[in-house]
Amino acid sequence: MDNFATDIKKYLEKIFGNTIDEASERQIYQALMVITRDRLAEKRFESNKKLKESQQKRVYYMSMEFLVGKTLRNNLYNLGYEDEIKHFLAKHGFSLERIYNIEPDPGLGNGGLGRLASCYMDALTSNDYPIMGFSILYEFGIFKQVISDGWQQEYPDNWLDLGRYGLLYRNDEEIEVKFYGNTKEEWSSEGLHIRYEDYTAIKAEPYDLFISGYDSDTVNVLRLWKSKATGGFNMKLFEKGEYSKSLESEAIAESISKLLYPADDNDNGKALRIKQQYFFTSASLQQIVKNHYDTYMTLDNFAEKVVIHINDTHPSMCIPELMRILMDEYEYSWDKAWSITTKTFAYTNHTIMAEALEKWSVDLFQPILPRIYTIIREINNRFCKWCNDIGAAGELDEMSIIHNNVIRMANLCIVSSYSVNGVSMLHTEILKKDTFKSFNRIYPGKFINVTNGIAHRRWLGQANPELTRYLNKLLGVDFIKDLSSIDKLLEYQDDKAVLEDLENIKNIKKLQLAEYIKSSTAIKVDTNSIFDVQIKRLHEYKRQLLNALHIIYLYRMIKFNGLKPYPRTFIFSAKASSGYVMAKNIIKLICSISEIIEADPIVREYIKVVFLEDYRVSLAEKIIPAANVSEQISQAGKEASGTGNMKLMLNGAVTLGTMDGANVEIHNAVGQDNIFIFGLSSEEVEELFKNDYRAIDYYNNNQDIKETIDFMRTLDNGHTNFNYIADYLVSTDPYMCLADFESYKNTQKIVEDTYQDKGKWNKMSLVNIAKSGIFSADRATKEYVEKIWKIEKIK
């Protein structure tokens, strides 16, 4: 640590010509980022040496998204330097907290899927498992959301400006990726040879982000590829004075890694998305195969030493890419290549929403990736033939990889992987019984469940140091090392003093959040009110609209019927896909309700609505520790798992939710008395859907629903109204907000009544914290290790 202080001083002198007392916060920030990165690089060298010597099996985790969150606090915390650096900086008049704030959130993901990938990298590293992540170095991460007059506006997120100091550029490991052109088959005495001609080559430059572990010797790497033109700009054109033309090819090449697709629902068949996927999977696969070959001088043992994990279908081109490399570059036969490939890949499915299951039209796909296309076609032909042989031809409409000139990537993954998993018990059951029923029949045992988990060291240890310190002292167990030991807290469920202490800590966190709310929205919230939180992407199936409907109902009851509920603050935060009109209208609705309440001197004494803009990892870290109620109200059967539900529970919020995703397992863990469950079950949803759900009947037969929707139509200020949403609710209401309204409303009343019994509420909150052990990413990744990957710790 002494060295660390010296290093900071040296860096400041060398780079800025400053002493520490002359330095700016920005300079200190840069010094800390670079020195931390270099420390991790040194540590990485040691752990890598052991890994090379042991020649053990490794996992490569492929994901188009990693929502890493701020890195500096995480790294200093993990390395155990945080306190000392804080003191050292304080001595020179700097606040470490303010320095942390300078770091941008690397927003290289949309939501749950990307954050999960990062939680797993953290957990595996803390537990000394050899894992390497691969993704894209998006120049612009998820957009910055600004709410202007209630409407979402998107601004570019130039995170590399200040974020780049954590990255290490590895130009010694550049790789070329080829697009377009055409392939020629050449037969010779040695067999078939594929010649690829007239292609366009793009350079992939690797940038490494080091992943630190808590109290561990291991440092793993997340490799991010940046696209570049192979030859830079065209000199000849440049000399002729055609400057813009000369830069054109460079611009096209660089557009591949320019930005993260800010959508998590559909990709509208975008060619750029195909290019992004192939760009990073090809670069990664070439790298992995080369490393393996350099070590073993053969690829025969590839599947024994390598597992490639596919995080949703986005990296599924890894599969034909490995086939291509084995056959076209290392001269393996189809059968041998296929045998290796099908022992190498494991696939996680994260959604059953039809629009998010990726499909590519052959007409779009084939010209961009001609060779990859022929390989997929051949996999499909052989698969269809095999189905014929085993008597499953009748199910090919559901199972074939290419169907009606469309490539179904999930089917490619299922056929080619040795393991397919869902992310919660319910989700996996739905995959097996419904979405992929026929596959489950022909591949018995291939589908398994691994319920998601979260990095509790970030979501409790760092986000809620007050609670962490308290529990540490109280329990005397190291639950930061092993979250399952937090169940010792159950012993205190009837201890009044402990329950009060927990309440006091919650209040501290509510006070901190209230200050943030005040500074970012100018709304003053009452910290004695119930903090009721719904934070997640804005999606119709997640039903922020059901929450909003209930608030409108309360508003009317307070204003016109003299209702005096216990005060509540409804907190929302959510980004909407930029082209998702309904989602943006729902944000506008929530913001309008917020405004109307603020303007009403009576209603605002009871309820407040706050929409916090720009939801991101660092904002979640502020909101979650302050929540009393965790809204997990998706239509049953639609939320694959949810992970925010776990983070909120871990911080003592009580779930108000449907029997969906991991809520089911939270319910099992805490028991009926410590959760508020409402609404239709997934079977009931299916049943109602089959029987032609008629939203209008709920409108006609339920006075509260009718009045709420009619009132919504009166929120018309001349230039905005919500008829669009009202019409949608009474006509289609595909996620059945109206069918669940009555049950939701009644359960909300129970929430309110229960909260007023402080002893009871605090006990519920305690039980939630105590039972959160199973939702640790340590548990989840251990299941991946044991059930799927079969890897050992680095020794």
**Which residues bind to ligand 26V, rule: CB under 6 A?**
110-113, 116, 261, 263-264, 266-267, 312, 350-351, 356, 358, 423, 452, 639-643, 661
Closest CA to 223 of 275, 177, 179, 285: 285
- The distance of closest approach from Cβ of residue 335 to ligand 26V in the complex, given in angstroms and rounded to an integer, is 33
CA dist 133 and 669 (Å) reads 32
Q: Give phi and psi for 125, each to the nearest 5.
A: -70, -45
Helices 496-521 & 758-770, crossing angle to 10 degrees?
A: 90
Residue 102 identity (one-letter amino acid): I
* Cβ-contact 736, 635 below 8 angstroms: yes
CA dist 358 and 346 (Å) reads 17
Note if 342 is an active site residue.
no
* Cβ-contact 531, 629 below 8 angstroms: yes
Q: Give phi and psi for 590, each to the nearest 5.
A: -60, -45
Tell me how far the alpha carbon of residue 68 is from its chain's centroid. Answer: 9
First to last CA, the chain: 25
**Catalytic residue among 536, 556, 771, 779, which?**
536
Is the Cβ of residue 116 or residue 785 nearer to ligand 26V in the bound state?
116
* Cβ-contact 686, 493 below 8 angstroms: no
Cα 711 to Cα 67, 205, 586, 594, 722: the distances in Å are 40, 56, 16, 15, 10
Cα 618 to Cα 68, 90, 101: the distances in Å are 10, 23, 9
Note if 537 is an active site residue.
yes
DSSP 66: B
CA dist 119 and 451 (Å) reads 13
Note if 403 is an active site residue.
no
Closest CA to 384 of 315, 442, 313: 442
Note if 351 is an active site residue.
no
**Catalytic residue among 446, 550, 647, 779, which?**
647
Is the Cβ of residue 104 or residue 262 nearer to ligand 26V in the bound state?
262
DSSP letters for 386-430: HHHHTT-GGGHHHH-SEETTEEEHHHHHHHH-SEEEESSHHHHHH
- The distance of closest approach from Cβ of residue 464 to ligand 26V in the complex, given in angstroms and rounded to an integer, is 21
Is the Cβ of residue 608 or residue 638 nearer to ligand 26V in the bound state?
638
Give me the residue label for tokens 């041998």.
Answer: 336
* Cβ-contact 577, 143 below 8 angstroms: no
* Cβ-contact 571, 661 below 8 angstroms: no
Q: Give phi and psi for 202, each to the nearest 5.
A: -125, 140
Looking at beta carbons, which residue is closest to ligand 26V?
Answer: 112
CA dist 524 and 521 (Å) reads 9
Note if 655 is an active site residue.
no
CA dist 614 and 617 (Å) reads 10
- The distance of closest approach from Cβ of residue 426 to ligand 26V in the complex, given in angstroms and rounded to an integer, is 11
Is the Cβ of residue 75 or residue 118 nearer to ligand 26V in the bound state?
118
**Catalytic residue among 223, 350, 408, 763, which?**
350
Closest CA to 122 of 162, 201, 66, 171: 66
Q: Give phi and psi for 133, each to the nearest 5.
A: -95, 150
CA dist 235 and 237 (Å) reads 6
**Catalytic residue among 537, 543, 588, 638, which?**
537
- The distance of closest approach from Cβ of residue 225 to ligand 26V in the complex, given in angstroms and rounded to an integer, is 18
Checking DSSP bridges between strand 402-403 and strand 406-408, what pairing results, if any?
A: antiparallel
CA dist 119 and 74 (Å) reads 12
222, β-bridge pairs: 133, 209
Helix (H) or strand (E) holding 124: helix 112-126
* Both structure tokens of 368: 């961009």
* Cβ-contact 67, 113 below 8 angstroms: no
CA dist 792 and 795 (Å) reads 8
Alpha helix (H) residue ranges in 155-240: 160-163, 235-239
Is the Cβ of residue 43 or residue 647 nearer to ligand 26V in the bound state?
647
Residue 335 identity (one-letter amino acid): D
Is the Cβ of residue 356 or residue 788 nearer to ligand 26V in the bound state?
356
**Catalytic residue among 223, 324, 458, 542, which?**
542
- The distance of closest approach from Cβ of residue 128 to ligand 26V in the complex, given in angstroms and rounded to an integer, is 24
Note if 275 is an active site residue.
no
- The distance of closest approach from Cβ of residue 113 to ligand 26V in the complex, given in angstroms and rounded to an integer, is 4
Is the Cβ of residue 284 or residue 641 nearer to ligand 26V in the bound state?
641
Give me the residue label for tokens 């998590």.
Answer: 264
Is the Cβ of residue 218 or residue 276 nearer to ligand 26V in the bound state?
276
Is the Cβ of residue 514 or residue 788 nearer to ligand 26V in the bound state?
788
Checking DSSP bridges between strand 419-422 and strand 345-348, what pairing results, if any?
A: parallel
- The distance of closest approach from Cβ of residue 634 to ligand 26V in the complex, given in angstroms and rounded to an integer, is 8
* Cβ-contact 82, 73 below 8 angstroms: yes
**Catalytic residue among 351, 643, 658, 781, which?**
643
Closest CA to 265 of 349, 347, 354, 348: 354
Is the Cβ of residue 361 or residue 701 nearer to ligand 26V in the bound state?
361
Give me the residue label for tokens 């299941």.
Answer: 783
Annotated catalytic residues are 350, 536-537, 542, 643, 647
